[in-house]
């Protein structure tokens, strides 16, 4: 089967790491995979990435109609493919709907309606983000639900959200969590040498970054040697730096910017004392999977995939979103007990290995492809 995977992010990191991993496993089973994503306005570009043909389609940031405009170039690019795909796998958010000329499977990684609703209010920019989530993005996702012959969600929570907030009533929806390579993301051979608390992700709205900074003020009063390492870039980087400096924490915070080398990323995990994911809302964060696979104690919020995989006090610590006090208390709890950290990390690794079986995951995806193809044939 020739499968075209269409997504909207860069080929490195985040959702793309899951897509490339799935592509490798499907290739091992005899499928042909083509990857397609956003490019730049100068024109279509093709290259090879880890053995896969990658097509970058022209993209013009003409907000709020950028996805619709991008869809014109996507349709042209798909129609020019030779050989034509047997099935198209869309990865939402922010991919354009396409004609039903092929069986279509859509994975909902993060519904925009929920993601944009859970961002801080910082004036006009965040007002527009929330407005797009309720209008253009919402309509695009409703259309994706309509054209899809099968729908995959990265957690049971996302499946429930599609039914509750998008009015989806079909039975062709299948929760299948993302997975990562547990052989690559593995625990370190030695315990960390310093108290380094790690955040990896976009420096953007809804990630709990300012609660993290404010909680650090409370933590550092008791543990002045603690270091906070933040990996990522985004629109809140400048404001976050200003907040850190205002709180007098600049010597305890290291903002490293974006790191794309996966070997460097895994090194950061292995050197971390704990990983902090204080997001207001997540659906199936790759960071959570990578952190628990590396056997790290994690502090996170009970959203998305965490609802399915995390048991408070067993394989991570759960806190309420937007709670500076709970984040500070949970961090202090970990810093005061290396035994607790070891227990959480050991259970986290056990959960990762048990839940992220590549053969089972690939079996499930192939089964969905088969059901989508059959449904498409019946409805033609």
pLDDT bracket for residue 302 (50, 70, 90): very high
Helix ranges (H only) for the chain are 15-28, 66-79, 112-117, 124-134, 136-147, 156-166, 209-222, 237-246, 262-271, 286-293, 305-309, 324-335, 338-355, 358-379
Residue 186 lies in a domain: no
> What does the alpha-carbon distance between residue 175 and residue 189 come to, in Å, rounded to a whole number?
34
Give per-residue pLDDT as tens, 259-293.
989 899 999 999 999 999 999 998 878 999 999 99
Residue 202 sits in the same domain as residue 260: yes
Q: How confident is the model at residue 118 (pLDDT cuts 50, 70, 90)?
A: confident
Q: How far apart are CA 120 and CA 221, in angstroms?
A: 27
Give the range of the structural domain holding residue 17, as residue numbers without chain letter.
2-179+357-379
- Please tell me the least confidently modeled range out of 6-15, 18-27, 121-130, 263-272: 121-130
Q: How many domains does the chain have?
A: 2
Q: What is the pTM of this model?
A: 0.90
Q: Is residue 189 part of a domain?
A: no
In contact, 76 and 119? CB cutoff 8 Å: no
Does residue 190 sit within a domain?
no
Lookup result for tokens 């994690």:
298
Does residue 187 form part of some domain?
A: no
CATH number, domain of 71, equals: 3.40.50.2000
> In the predicted model, what is the mean pLDDT of residues 104-109?
96
Give the model confidence (pLDDT) of 130-157 as tens digits: 787 888 899 999 999 999 999 999 999 9
Smallest CA-to-CA distance from 214 within 233, 201, 234, 228 is with 228
Whether residues 251 and 344 share a domain: the answer is: yes
């Amino acid at each position: 089967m020739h499968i075209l995977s269409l997504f909207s992010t860069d080929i490195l990191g985040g959702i793309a790491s899951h897509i490339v991993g799935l592509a490798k496993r499907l290739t091992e089973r005899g499928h042909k995979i083509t990857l397609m994503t956003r490019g730049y306005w100068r024109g279509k570009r093709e290259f090879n990435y880890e053995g896969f043909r990658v097509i970058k389609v022209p993209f013009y940031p003409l907000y709020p109609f950028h996805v619709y405009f991008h869809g014109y170039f996507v349709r042209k690019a798909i129609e020019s493919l030779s050989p034509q795909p047997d099935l198209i796998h869309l990865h939402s958010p922010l991919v354009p709907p396409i004609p039903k000329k092929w069986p279509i499977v859509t994975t909902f990684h993060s519904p925009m309606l929920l993601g944009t609703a859970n961002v801080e209010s910082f004036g006009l920019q965040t007002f527009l983000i929330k407005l797009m989530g309720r209008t253009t993005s919402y309509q695009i996702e409703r259309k994706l639900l309509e054209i899809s012959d099968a729908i995959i969600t990265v957690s049971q929570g996302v499946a429930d959200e599609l039914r509750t907030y998008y009015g989806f009533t079909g039975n062709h929806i299948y929760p299948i969590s993302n997975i990562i390579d547990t052989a690559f993301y593995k625990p370190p051979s030695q315990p960390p040498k310093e108290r380094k608390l790690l955040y990896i992700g976009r420096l953007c709205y809804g990630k709990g970054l300012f609660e993290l900074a404010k909680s650090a003020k409370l933590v550092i009063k008791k543990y002045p040697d603690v270091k906070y390492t933040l990996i990522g870039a985004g629109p809140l980087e400048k404001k976050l730096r200003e907040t850190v400096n205002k709180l007098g924490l600049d010597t305890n915070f290291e903002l490293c910017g974006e790191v794309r080398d996966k070997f460097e990323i895994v090194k950061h995990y292995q050197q971390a004392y704990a990983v902090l994911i204080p997001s207001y809302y997540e659906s199936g964060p790759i960071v959570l999977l990578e952190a628990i696979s590396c056997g790290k104690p994690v502090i996170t919020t009970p959203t998305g995939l965490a609802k399915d995989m995390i048991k408070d006090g067993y394989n991570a610590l759960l806190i309420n979103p937007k709670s500076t006090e709970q984040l500070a208390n949970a961090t202090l709890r970990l810093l005061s007990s290396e035994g607790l950290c070891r227990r959480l990390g050991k259970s986290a690794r056990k959960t990762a290995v048990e839940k992220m079986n590549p053969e089972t995951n690939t079996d499930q995806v192939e089964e969905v492809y088969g059901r989508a193809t059959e449904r498409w044939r019946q409805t033609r």
